[in-house]
Amino acid sequence: MLAALFDNAALMIILVGALVGIASTLVGTFLVLRGVSMLSDAIGHSIVFGIVIVWLITHQQSGPVQIIGAALTGLLTVFLTELLVSTRRVKKDAAIGLVFPVLFSAGVLLINLYARDVHIDTHTVLLGEIGFVWLDTLTLGDYRVPQALVWMGAMTLINGAFVTLFYKELKIATFDEALAKALGMAPGLLFYVLLLLTSGTAVAAFDAVGAVLFVAFVIVPPATGYLLTDRLWMMFIHGSLVSIASSISGYWLAVFWNVSIGGMMAVMTGVFLLLAFLLGPRYGMVAQVLRRRGQRRVNEIRTLAVHLYNHEDGPEQWAENVTRALRDHLLWDNAKANRVVARSREQGLVECRGQSLVLTEAGRDMAREILEPTRNGTGSLTTTAT
């Protein structure tokens, strides 16, 4: 039965896609939170160089040697970038943009030169071939398992173990590096291990999604999580869910339109990010607009209450406290004035007596609280004064 599962190409492709997303989310979350997401772009590109070099030396297409060897190139990129920045001749963003293209170019040229020996062409380098992952299999026990699945599964487990074991340290190092240093947690070393794992994940994912699409899996799911929650562990959950959903929906859409599967999965991560951006419960655009509108309405009612309170029992009460006067004195148009009055009446803050508007007791309290916030003893000024 298990063998039938491993023979199911569609399932294997979706599984590999989801694993790429989950493994990347585990490390990407910290990159996004630390504000260094673009390092994943640099790493993704420069491992091409490492992959070609390791291939030329060992002729191993995948496996631990390939992953570790090529991952070191990713680390080399970060190291060279930081070296360049530390000389203070080049700004950080420019340094990133200088280092990885060099390694990437060298890798591409090597592929051109040894085209007959290397198993990848420049096209695969960028896009990967997740649709063919089920072709390269590995015999595990009695089953023939796709290689990509094995290595992606291994990277997911390693990343998961790292994040679980060093959860506390990573959390402190990410949000308060100075504290982590003071507690002797070696945040610098931790960060380098994180980048090494990012590079390893990039190598393991390389055959499936290539150099550039990998960036989407590292950055977009955690960023989506970041738009939805304030809790670190929830970011992992959201990110993983987005990865799984993107993998499934991306696969079917790609089959439906007959386009690149990896590309479609990456596009779907973007779609989910867009949804979170628009509809997120707290930070989404719609929520923000609604919150702003609610705030505006409250402010309008408060303005009305104060206006009525100021002129209450005054000589010009009959001229001021009518809906018409709001137009001249608060610069509200008729529709707005009517709207605010209606809403205030609904909330029992204002009553109509003939033409004139009269505050209810609740409305008067509200105005009083706005104008003299300290009088009821609730304000902090009175307490500190005594």
Partner 1 sequence: MSPLELIRDHTIQNVVIGAALLGLISGVLGSFAVLRKQSLLGDTMSHAALPGVCIGFLLAGAREMGFLLLGALATGALAALVMLMLTRNSRLKTDAALGIALSTFFALGVVLLTYIQNQNNAAQGGLDAFLFGQAAATLRGDLWIMGGVTLVALALVTAFWKEFKLVSFDPQFAASLGMPVMWLEVLLTVMIALAVVVGLQMVGVVLMAAMIIAPAVAARQWSHRLESMVLLAAVIGVAGGLFGALLSALSRGLATGPLIILSVSSVVLVSLLLAPGRGFVWEGIRLWQGRRRLRHQQVLTTLYRLALHHDDPAYRSEQGMLDTYHGHHTRKALRQLLQRGLVEWRSAPPEEPRGAKHWVLTPRGRDEAERILDSLGRGDD
Interface with partner 1 (CB under 8 A): 32, 35-38, 40-41, 45, 87, 89-91, 93-94, 96-98, 101-102, 104-106, 108-109, 112-113, 115, 122-123, 126-127, 212-213, 215-216, 218-220, 223, 226-227, 254, 257-260, 262-267, 269-270, 273, 277, 283, 285, 288
Cβ nearer to partner 1, comparing 98 with 306: 98
Closest by CA to 218, choosing from 18, 19, 31, 16, is 31
Cβ nearer to partner 1, comparing 142 with 230: 230
Least distance CB 94 / partner 1 (angstroms): 4
Least distance CB 137 / partner 1 (angstroms): 25
Torsion angle defined by CA atoms of residues 53, 59, 64 and 66, in that order, rounded to the nearest 10 degrees: 20
Least distance CB 256 / partner 1 (angstroms): 11
CB contact set of 314 (below 8 Å; sequence gap of 6+)? 320
Least distance CB 53 / partner 1 (angstroms): 15
Q: Is the dihedral of CA 168, 174, 176, 177 positive or negative?
A: positive
Cβ nearer to partner 1, comparing 105 with 360: 105
Cβ nearer to partner 1, comparing 172 with 227: 227
Strand-pairing partners, residue 145, are 138
Angle at 329 (CA atoms; ends 326, 333), nearest 5 degrees: 50
Cβ nearer to partner 1, comparing 68 with 255: 255
Strand-pairing partners, residue 358, are 351
Kindly give the residue spans of alpha helices, DSSP state H, lying in the chain. 2-7, 9-34, 38-58, 64-86, 92-113, 122-127, 147-165, 167-175, 177-182, 187-228, 232-257, 261-279, 285-311, 317-320, 323-329, 334-346, 361-371, 380-385
Cβ nearer to partner 1, comparing 203 with 304: 203
